[in-house]
Amino acid sequence: MKIFYAVQATGNGHIARAMELLPYLQQYGTVDIFLSGNNSSLQTGLPVRYKSRGVSLYYTQSGSLDYLKIMKEFNARRVWKEAKDLPVEKYDCVLVDFESIAALSCRIKKIPCIGFGHQASFQSVKAPRPGTKNIAGEWILKYYAPSTVYTGLHFKQYDNFIFNPVIKQAILEAVPVEEGHITIYLPQYNDELLIKHFERITDVPFRLFSKTAIRPSSQKNITILPVNNATFNESVINCNGVITGAGFETPAEILYLGKKLLCIPIKGQYEQKCNAAALKDFDVTVIDDVKENFTATIINWLQHPNPKKLELTHSTETIVAKVMKQAEEIKG
């Protein structure tokens, strides 16, 4: 079987999941990756055969989406041409992980495809939403990368086509301990803004993973580290807690490890607000922004009990097997 796997690279989560899925997908045939976007900080090692600037996300220094820059970088003519040129018709199975160009290519060429990943779960009305729905956000989740069928991933199995997160093998095999430090990954914020708050809590060591850091450095009680998959895994396995956005992969891993978790949804990103609604069911602390009282919020959070642990009901191997069965069914 020839498998075309379109991976969104507007963040690290999609790529981290693709790296985990690849060995299982390769059991069914050859896999060619289409990597779309340029916001990821991870070195992939994936068999990338096709690449595009895609539709990338950019952030202001205060943590919200920079819509002006996103629109400035968007080129409709380029996107249309790339969609027409992608050879999706030469593959037996097309997987689309919230990637719009491959989805458009399949639509133009009338090729069936499988919408796979976290965003696919929002095709179900049973997936958690915030108290106030956002019409534009709902539209993006449903129509940004429309597919023939869907296999969704979420914190719980909210519907029959939704399965648990794909957890990295390094996390699955880990023996978590608490060595005292707090791990931070908030790429939507400027490092200096964060450091100002964390250095006030002098009795707690922090490890700040920075999208701009080239090499490790220290500032008072804060170790500043470049984004690196292995280093980050080691940090979260051995930390007392994690402060991060309300994405999907990282919070899922922290909940699986049973660690303390504080999440700050990226402003203007509706999916993260939906995730925040789901995370509250696990007793995760969720706040709206880094404000002047952020230092006090962290101190208070450090006293909270750990959230409910994430339970896995399906292995990665089983999830991939179900996706491959879907691929056979939609081929007709």
**pLDDT tens, N- to C-terminus, the chain (332 residues):** 999 999 988 767 788 889 999 999 999 999 999 998 765 555 567 888 998 877 666 666 655 667 777 777 777 888 899 999 999 999 999 999 999 999 999 999 999 999 999 999 999 999 999 999 899 889 989 999 999 999 999 999 999 999 999 999 999 999 999 999 999 999 889 999 999 999 999 999 999 999 899 999 999 999 999 998 899 999 999 999 999 999 999 999 999 999 999 999 988 889 999 999 999 999 999 999 998 899 999 999 999 999 999 999 999 999 999 999 999 999 86
| 2-164+313-331 shares its CATH topology with 169-301 | yes
* pTM recorded for the entire structure: 0.90
Q: What is the CATH topology of the domain spanning 2-164+313-331?
A: Rossmann fold (3.40.50)
Q: b or e along 41-67 (b: 16 or more beta carbons within 10 Å of the residue's beta carbon)?
A: bbebebeeebebbbbbbebbeebebbe
Return the SS3 of 267: strand
Distance CA 236, CA 252 (A): 12
Distance CA 206, CA 186 (A): 13
The length of the chain is 332
Inter-CA distances, 40 with 6, 9, 101, 223, Å:
15, 5, 18, 22
Question: What are the domain boundaries of the chain?
Answer: 2-164+313-331, 169-301
Q: Looking at domain 169-301, what is its CATH homologous superfamily?
A: Glycogen Phosphorylase B; (3.40.50.2000)
Q: Which residue has the tokens 């509250």?
A: 280
**Pairing state of beta strands 162-163 and 285-286?**
unpaired
